[in-house]
A and B are shown apart, each in its own frame.
Chain A
Amino acid sequence: MTGWLDAHLVSMVDGVAYGLLLFTLAVGLSLVFGMMDVLNLAHGTLYLAGAYTAYALSDGSWLGLLVALVVGLVVGLLGGGLLAAAVAPLQGRGHLDQAALTLGIAFIAAEVMVVIFGAQVLPTAPPAGLARSVSVLGHSYPLYRLVFILVAGLIAVMVYLAFERSSVGALVRATVADRDMVRAMGVDTRKVLFGVFAFGAVLAAVGGVLGAPIIAPGPGIDDRVLVLSLVVVVIGGLGSVRGALLGALLIGQVQTLGVALVPAFAPFLLFGAMLLVLVLRPQGLFAPGRA
C-alpha cells in the first residue's frame, strides 16, 4: 500500500492543486446560480481573462505577479459587474435567455482575446523564485504548485469562513435559501446578489492569474474550465461552498489520479463520477435546503 501511495503521490498532489483551482472557479458559479438564479456561461471566460492577464504582465518577477493580481482583480470586478448588469433586465424570463446571453458575451469576449493574444496556447511561467522543483518525500515536484496549493487553500478557508461564520455570510446563505423572506426583512437583496456576482467573478479572474501556469490560456480553455466547474457544481450541489470544495477536490483526483491509473477510461471518468453522485444524491452532495 505504501508503495502504491508512493508511486502515485505526485498525481495526488497534482490533483489537490487542480481541485483547489477548480474550487476558486466553481464556488462563484455555484453561489451566483444558487442565489441569483443566474446560470453564467461566461464564467470560464473570466478565468481565461485572468490567465491572459498573468501571461501579459507576469515577467517572472514578484512585482509582475502582484501587478497581474491587481489587474486580474479589476478585470474580475468589471467583468462581473458587466455580466450582472447585462442579465438584470432578463429577470423573470427564465434560465435559457440568461444562458444564451452569457454564452453570446462569452463568444464575443473569446474572439476579442484571440485577436489580442493569437490562437495558440501560451505557456505562462511562474515568478522566477518559484520556477523550480523541490524534493517532496523523494519526488521532485514543482515548487509553484506547492505554493499554489497553499495560497488556494488559504482562499478556500477564507471563503468558507466568510460564508459559514460571518454575518455577511449568514445574509448570503439566507438569500440562497429564501430570497423573499430576506427582502421582507428589509434587506436590499439586489445588492447582495450583485455583490455575490462580483465576488464570484473576482475569484474566477484571480484564479486565472494564479492558475495560468497550471492551465495555460488559449482558445477553448474557457469552455473546458466552464465544463469542469459545472461538473463540480452538479456534484457538490448548487449554492453550497462546502459542496463546491468537496466536488472540486474529488474532480481534481479523478482527473489526475484517474488519468495515471486507467488512461484508457480517462474521458469517461468525469462522467462516471457525476453519474455515481447523481444516482446516489440527485440534488448534489451538499445542496442547501430550499424553501
Chain B
Amino acid sequence: MPSAATSPRRPFPVRTALVVGAVVLLLALVPWVFGAFTVSTFTRALVFAVLAMSVNLLTGVAGMPTLGQAAYFGVGAYAGALVAIHWSDLGVLQLVLATLAGVVAALVTGPLAIRGRGVAFLMITLAIGEIGYSAAGRLDSVTGGTDGLSGIPPVVAVPGSGGLVNEGLIYYYVLVVAVVAYLAVAVLLRSPFGLTLRGLRDNEARLRAVGYRTDSYALAAYVYAGGLAALAGSLWASSQRFVAPGDLAFEVSALALLAVIVGGLGSMWGASLGALVVVFTQDYLGQLFSGHAPLLLGLLFVLAVYLLPKGIAGGPRQWRRMFGRRRTPDEEAVSPV
C-alpha cells in the first residue's frame, strides 16, 4: 500500500495554537462571568460541539453526509450512565468505556453504512439513527425504556475527590474533555490518515486507482467518529445526569448536521461555533419567541444554505472575495482546524 506520508510535512501551527489557547482561556472565564443557567447552556453547547466534530469528521472531512450520529451519541450516553450507576463514578473510566462502546457499535454497523456513498450513505445512517432511537425506547431492561435512566451519581473527575454537583465545576470537567477531543481531532486531521480522508471526499475513484483500499479508510473514519460521538454522549450523561431515548432522536442528528453546515463543512472550529449557535438559539431565542425554537432552527437551516454556502468558517474568505482581493489557491480550502 502506498504511503500517504509523501505529502510535505506541515510545520507546527503556532498561530492556530495561540488562537485555540486564547479561546480556551476565554471559555474558562465563563463561570465567573455568567449565572448558573448560562453556564449550563455553555456546558450543553460544549457537549454538542464534540458531537458536531464527530459529524464534521464524516460529513465535512471525509465527504460522507450522516444523519445517524445520535445513535452513537446515545450508545455513549447509556454506556456512561450504566457504568456510573452500577460500577464507578470515576469520570475517566466512564469516558473510556463509553468511547469503547461507541467504537464497537460503529464497528458492527459501519460495514453496512459504508456500502453507500453520498445520499445512499445519508439514508442508511438515518435508518441506523432511527433504529437506535426505537431500540432505546424498547430495551427496557437495559435502558429503562421511555422512562430513561435517572439517578446517575455525580461524576468524580479526580480519584479521591468528591462528585461534581456545582454547575461551574461540571462545566470545567466538560471543557477539559472537549478540548482534549478537539486536539485529538486536530492531530488526526494533520496526519497522513486525515489527508487521505480528504482525498476520499475529493476524488475517491482516483484514490482507489492509486491503490488505497478506500472502504477501509471510510470504515476507519466511521469508527473514529462513532467513538467521538459516544464520548460526547458520556459527557452528556455526566452533565445532565439523565439519559432518555429523546437523546437519540432524529432531531439530535439533524441539529448536529445543522451545526456543521452553519459552521462550515470541514472546519472543526466552525463546527464548534455552529454548535454554540444552535444550542443558544434553542435555549435563549426559543424562550424569547415563546418556545418556538424549532421554527428558528428551521429558519437558521434555510438562511445558512442560501446565504452562507461555506458556513461561518468560510465567511471571512467569501466576504474578502467580495472586495476583490486576490487569493492563493491554498486559501480556497477551508483550513483544517
B21 at the A interface (CB under 8 A):
no
Kindly identify, within residues 233 to 277 of chain B, every residue whose CB is under 8 Å from any CB belonging to chain A.
249-251, 254, 257-258, 261, 265
Chain A residues with CB below 8 A from B120, complex form: 234, 238
The reply to whether B115 and A268 contact each other, CB–CB distance below 8 Å, is: no
Taking a contact as CB atoms closer than 8 A, the residue among B124, B137, B250 that contacts A278 in the complex is B124
The reply to whether A100 and B116 contact each other, CB–CB distance below 8 Å, is: no
A266 at the B interface (CB under 8 A):
yes
Chain A residues with CB below 8 A from B306, complex form: 89, 101
- Nearest CB to that of A86 among chain B residues? B302
The reply to whether B257 and A100 contact each other, CB–CB distance below 8 Å, is: yes
CA distance A112 to B138 in the complex (A): 30
A168 at the B interface (CB under 8 A):
no
B208 at the A interface (CB under 8 A):
no
B293 to chain A, nearest CB (A): 8
A118 at the B interface (CB under 8 A):
no
Stretch with Cβ within 8 A of B (4 or more), from A15-23, A103-111, A125-133: A103-111
Stretch with Cβ within 8 A of B (4 or more), from A1-9, A189-197, A269-277: A269-277
Taking a contact as CB atoms closer than 8 A, the residue among B131, B249, B295, B300 that contacts A267 in the complex is B131
B157 to chain A, nearest CB (A): 35
Chain A residues with CB below 8 A from B265, complex form: 96
Kindly identify, within residues 26 to 44 of chain A, every residue whose CB is under 8 Å from any CB belonging to chain B.
33, 39
B50 to chain A, nearest CB (A): 21
Stretch with Cβ within 8 A of B (4 or more), from A137-145, A153-161, A172-180, A225-233: A225-233
Taking a contact as CB atoms closer than 8 A, the residue among B119, B127, B137, B301 that contacts A95 in the complex is B119
B20 at the A interface (CB under 8 A):
no
The reply to whether A282 and B131 contact each other, CB–CB distance below 8 Å, is: no
The reply to whether B295 and A108 contact each other, CB–CB distance below 8 Å, is: yes
Taking a contact as CB atoms closer than 8 A, the residue among B118, B131, B250, B258 that contacts A100 in the complex is B258
Kindly identify, within residues 209 to 248 of chain A, every residue whose CB is under 8 Å from any CB belonging to chain B.
220, 223-224, 227, 230-231, 233-234, 238
- Nearest CB to that of A275 among chain B residues? B112
Chain B residues with CB below 8 A from A103, complex form: 254, 257-258, 301
Chain B residues with CB below 8 A from A282, complex form: 115-116
The reply to whether A110 and B294 contact each other, CB–CB distance below 8 Å, is: yes
B35 at the A interface (CB under 8 A):
no
A74 to chain B, nearest CB (A): 23
The reply to whether A227 and B127 contact each other, CB–CB distance below 8 Å, is: yes
B289 to chain A, nearest CB (A): 10
A185 at the B interface (CB under 8 A):
no
A93 at the B interface (CB under 8 A):
yes
Taking a contact as CB atoms closer than 8 A, the residue among A89, A90, A107 that contacts B301 in the complex is A107
B318 at the A interface (CB under 8 A):
no
A99 at the B interface (CB under 8 A):
yes
A115 at the B interface (CB under 8 A):
yes
- Nearest CB to that of B302 among chain A residues? A104
A59 at the B interface (CB under 8 A):
no
The reply to whether A105 and B127 contact each other, CB–CB distance below 8 Å, is: no
Given A101-B301, A275-B112; A234-B65 close (CB under 8 Å): no
CA distance A109 to B123 in the complex (A): 21
Main secondary structure of the interface of B (DSSP, over half): helix
B337 at the A interface (CB under 8 A):
no
B59 at the A interface (CB under 8 A):
yes
- Nearest CB to that of A37 among chain B residues? B119
A-contact bits for B294-320, CB 8 A (1 contact / 0 none):
110111111011100100000000000
Q: Which of A96, A268, A274 has the largest count of B CB atoms less than 10 A from its CB?
A: A96
Chain A residues with CB below 8 A from B261, complex form: 96-97, 100
The reply to whether A107 and B118 contact each other, CB–CB distance below 8 Å, is: no
Given A266-B138, A268-B131, A271-B131; A107-B298 close (CB under 8 Å): yes
Q: Which of A39, A100, A110 has the largest count of B CB atoms less than 10 A from its CB?
A: A100
CA distance A202 to B293 in the complex (A): 29
CA distance A176 to B50 in the complex (A): 40
B134 at the A interface (CB under 8 A):
yes
B167 at the A interface (CB under 8 A):
no
CA distance A151 to B130 in the complex (A): 30
B43 to chain A, nearest CB (A): 24
Chain B residues with CB below 8 A from A223, complex form: 130, 249-251
Chain B residues with CB below 8 A from A89, complex form: 306
CA distance A227 to B124 in the complex (A): 9
The reply to whether A96 and B65 contact each other, CB–CB distance below 8 Å, is: yes
B100 at the A interface (CB under 8 A):
no
Given A230-B126, A271-B131, A274-B127; A100-B115 close (CB under 8 Å): no
CA distance A89 to B307 in the complex (A): 12
Q: Which of A90, A103, A238 has the largest count of B CB atoms less than 10 A from its CB?
A: A103
Taking a contact as CB atoms closer than 8 A, the residue among A90, A96, A112, A230 that contacts B59 in the complex is A96
- Nearest CB to that of A38 among chain B residues? B119
A137 to chain B, nearest CB (A): 31
Chain B residues with CB below 8 A from A93, complex form: 309
B227 to chain A, nearest CB (A): 21
Taking a contact as CB atoms closer than 8 A, the residue among B67, B254, B302 that contacts A101 in the complex is B302
Chain A residues with CB below 8 A from B65, complex form: 95-96, 99
Taking a contact as CB atoms closer than 8 A, the residue among B59, B130, B298 that contacts A105 in the complex is B298
Given A107-B297, A223-B250; A271-B115 close (CB under 8 Å): no
Where the two chains meet, the residues of B that have a C-beta atom closer than 8 Å to any C-beta of A are 59, 65, 67, 112, 115-116, 118-120, 122-124, 126-128, 130-131, 134-135, 137-139, 249-251, 254, 257-258, 261, 265, 292, 294-295, 297-302, 304-306, 309
Given contacts A108-B299, A227-B130, 7 further A-B contacts (CB under 8 A): A97-B305, A99-B65, A104-B297, A104-B305, A108-B302, A271-B128, A282-B116
Task: List, sorted by A's number, 15 A–B pairs whose CB atoms are closer than 8 Å.
Answer: A97-B305, A100-B304, A103-B258, A104-B298, A104-B301, A104-B305, A107-B254, A110-B294, A111-B294, A223-B130, A270-B131, A271-B127, A274-B112, A274-B124, A282-B115
